[in-house]
Every structure is written in C-alpha cells, then in structure tokens.
Amino acid sequence: MSRMYDEVVTVVENRPLTGGHFLLSVHSPRQARATRPGQFAMVRLPGGLDTLLRRPMSIYDLKAAVARTSVGGAKSRVAGHRPALQRQRAPEIIQLLYKIVGKGTRQMAGLRPGDRLEMLAPLGHGFFPEDYLAEARADDEVLHVAGGIGIAALLLAARELAGQGIPQRLFFGGRTKEDLVGVEDFKPYVRATVLATEDGSRGHCGFVTQPLEEYLLRNRNKKFLFMVCGPWLMLEATVKLAQKYRHRCLVSMENRMGCAIGVCLGCSIRVQGTGHGAYERVCTEGPVFWAEKVVWGKERMSRVRGI
Ligand SMILES: Cc1cc2nc3c(=O)[nH]c(=O)nc-3n(C[C@H](O)[C@H](O)[C@H](O)COP(=O)(O)OP(=O)(O)OC[C@H]3O[C@@H](n4cnc5c(N)ncnc54)[C@H](O)[C@@H]3O)c2cc1C
Ligand code: FES
C-alpha cells in the first residue's frame, strides 16, 4: 500500500455531467503523486452530523494542473485529456467521478471552485501488485466490466495497462444512457467499448453481462482477465461468467465504510477461509480482490463474528 495523506484540499472544478453525476477535481499534489490505479479516497464534507462520516470515492483520474492553483479562481485549471502530457508531468489534481445518491453526495454536488474539504488518500491497495500485471500480460485481452458508477474505479487501470501495451475492451452497463458517463475517457486505451442500458436508450438493451457472454462465446479460445466494478448483483453475475468460461477475475468492491483504515471492521466481507481468516476488510485488504477469494451468494450474508 502506498503512503496515505490526510489533507485539506481545494476544489478546482465540480463539473455536472448527465444523470446526477459530477466530476470533482481537487488540487492535492502529494495525494495525486502517491495514487495507484484502483485506490480510493475518503472525502469529508463540512456540515451536520449526518455528513460527519467520510464518503469513500474511487480515484477516477489524475491530471496535471495547467496553471497555478489559487483559491476561488473561476476558470478551469485542470489539464485537458491529453494522455501524452499526463505521462510527462507529475499529477497535481485528483478527480472523483460521483453520482448523487444521498445527503453526502448531494452536498458534494454543491461544492464550488475554491471550497475546501478534508480528504484522506490514497487508500486501499490498487489493481497492480506485480502478480496482477503478470496475469494481464499473459492473457489475450483485459476486459473491464463496469456497472454504473463502478466505472470510476477502472480508468487509471486502463491507462496503466495501455502504457504496457496490453489490449483491453470495456463493457459498461447502466440503467439509462445518462448513467454511461466517462466512456470517452476510456477510448484512447481500449480497442472497443460495448455499452448496455436497461431501458435500451443506448447500446444493448438489457444487462451488460449479456453482450459480455456473447463475446466470451465468440472467443472461447482466448484467455481474458476481467476487471470488474459495480453493484453487488452485477459483480456476482460477472464473476459467474468468469468462472463458467474459466477466466481470472479481479473485483473492486464498494461496500459501505466507516473508518477506511482497518479499525472499525464495518467493511468486512466473507472470503474463503475459516475463523478470523474468513473475513477481510475492503478498505485495507481491498478494495480489489481476486473473485475466487470472495464468498458470493447467500453464504456471504453470514454475519461477521468474533473479530
Ligand atoms: C471503495 C469505494 C469506492 C467508491 N467509489 C465511488 C465513486 O467513485 N463514485 C461514487 O459515486 N460512489 C462511490 N462509492 C459509493 C459512495 O461511497 C456512496 O455512494 C456514498 O458514500 C453515498 O453517500 P451519501 O451520503 O450520498 O448517501 P447515503 O445517504 O449514505 O446513502 C444513500 C443511498 O445510497 C446507498 N449507498 C451508500 N453507500 C453505498 C455504497 N458504498 N454502495 C452502494 N450503495 C450505497 C445507501 O444504501 C442509500 O440507499 C464508493 C464506495 C466505496 C466503498
Ligand atoms: S471501514 Fe473500518 S475497517 Fe474498513
């Protein structure tokens, strides 16, 4: 795990996107430089008791700042989407892609350039201890599979893999076309994007696992590495496909969290093992796990006891 920093950071931009999604850019050079793909931040908003807890957010992207960041400036100071430039200049800006679902995220949506907030980051271990990369290099293609805001966990990984010349493909599903945010950001890194919406407003009509299975059937002779993030049911369905077609699968979990530093055990999930070894904390041992390590189905509902 890389070093984490507890910082007061300054909002550079909070851009509204479709369907209640926002892209929040904050100036935080130390946290940005320490971040690895798959890690997350805990954002604490000022305000009443119900927003006292920090909210976990995947670190979506890292950018260089194009001009000196000073509090309260009106124009955007985030470098545009230029992958070559990103590699040359040290990142200073952390971007969080989020969706309004409750009080905390609604409050985030009200942030303006120059506002300050507390942020603990980077947290968790990312996608790339060496064995993940070795696995990705050995496979024919990495398949990113995202459900809704789960897309936020995958962009940095896609960029890192592209830098290593590893072929990739994105399968992305949402309820409606408004949920399919960030697709353009992936395009420089993936061979193709396959979209699905439950209402049929964009791409395949239905769940994203349907075109995914068709692709797996058409390519039975190939070896894929899945990288998946999304709601639990979508994770489970994707893991089942990975198991059925014998591909390895990494899942990034988005459990509710309390402390995010391994103390409260509130984020524990059931994993293969017995006794104390049957549980791991998403915040510190995750958020990324090999799918075969996680206990899926009804078994997962067994309560955390004795730890
Ligand atoms: C490691 C990690 C990374 C995450 N990355 C992102 C991200 O990049 N972008 C993003 O928008 N969200 C992300 N989330 C989820 C995000 O933390 C929650 O949506 C947020 O905390 C909700 O806060 P709230 O106060 O707005 O909602 P609350 O008022 O606390 O809850 C509103 C509704 O959202 C549901 N909810 C709250 N937290 C979660 C959760 N973790 N998973 C599913 N449902 C939840 C509640 O059950 C409730 O129905 C991530 C979560 C984790 C653990
Ligand atoms: S959130 Fe407290 S241990 Fe993970």
pLDDT digits (tens, 9 = 90+) for 18-29: 999 999 999 999
Q: From the CB of 146, is ligand 1 less than 6 Å away?
A: no
* Residue 20 CA, distance from chain mean position: 17
User: What pLDDT is recorded for position 47?
Assistant: 64
Chain segment 214-245, per-residue pLDDT in tens: 999 999 999 999 999 999 999 999 999 999 99
Question: Among the atoms of ligand 2, which is closest to the Cα of residue 281?
Answer: 4
CA pair distance 8, 22, nearest whole angstrom: 20
* Ligand 2 residue neighbourhood (C-beta within 6 Å): 257-260, 262-267, 281, 283
Distance 270 CA to ligand 2 centre (A): 14
Phi, psi (5° rounding) for residue 121?
-170, 160
Q: From the CB of 256, is ligand 1 less than 6 Å away?
A: yes
Q: From the CB of 152, is ligand 1 less than 6 Å away?
A: yes
CATH of domain 5-123: 2.40.30.10
Residue 218 tokens read as 């058409």
User: What pLDDT is recorded for position 74?
Assistant: 39
Sign of the torsion formed by the C-alpha atoms of 108, 87, 2 and 295: positive
Which of 124 and 83 is assigned the larger pLDDT? 124
- Judge if the upstream peptide bond of residue 287 is cis by omega within 30 degrees of 0: yes
Site to probe by mutation for ligand 1, drawn from 254, 282, 283, 285 as the one with most ligand atoms within 8 Å of Cβ, is 254
Site to probe by mutation for ligand 2, drawn from 257, 269, 279, 304 as the one with most ligand atoms within 8 Å of Cβ, is 257
pLDDT band at 65 (very low <50, low <70, confident <90, very high): confident
Distance 16 CA to ligand 1 centre (A): 18
DSSP H/E element including 85? helix 83-88
| Whether the domain at 5-123 and the domain at 130-254 fall into the same CATH topology | no
| pLDDT of 273 above 50 | yes
Ligand nearest to the backbone CA of 38: 1
List of E strands, 73-176: 93-99, 116-123, 141-147, 168-174
Identity of residue 45: L
Per the CB < 8 A criterion, the answer to whether 142 and 168 are in contact is yes
Extents of the domains making up the chain: 5-123, 130-254
Architecture in CATH for domain 130-254:
3-Layer(aba) Sandwich (3.40)
How many Cβ atoms from other residues are within 10 Å of residue 43's Cβ? Answer: 25
| pLDDT of 281 above 70 | yes
Q: From the CB of 40, is ligand 1 less than 6 Å away?
A: yes
Distance 261 CA to ligand 2 centre (A): 6
| pLDDT of 303 above 70 | no
Q: From the CB of 182, is ligand 1 less than 6 Å away?
A: no
Residue that the structure tokens 């408004």 belong to: 178
Please name every residue paired with 172 in a beta bridge, in sequence order, or none if there are none: 146, 195
- Provide mean pLDDT across the span 270-280: 84
Which of 305 and 158 is assigned the larger pLDDT? 158
- The CA-CA-CA angle for residues 86, 87, 90, to 5°, reads 75
Q: Whose CA is nearest to atom 51 of ligand 1?
A: 254
Q: From the CB of 99, is ligand 1 less than 6 Å away?
A: yes
Question: Among the atoms of ligand 1, which is closest to the Cα of residue 283?
Answer: 1
| pLDDT of 293 above 60 | yes
User: What pLDDT is recorded for position 185?
Assistant: 97
Q: From the CB of 307, is ligand 1 less than 6 Å away?
A: no
Chain segment 168-214, per-residue pLDDT in tens: 999 999 999 999 999 999 999 999 999 999 999 999 999 999 999 99
pTM listed for this prediction: 0.90
Percent of the chain scored above 70 by pLDDT? 85
Q: From the CB of 257, is ligand 1 less than 6 Å away?
A: yes
Residue that the structure tokens 């850019």 belong to: 25
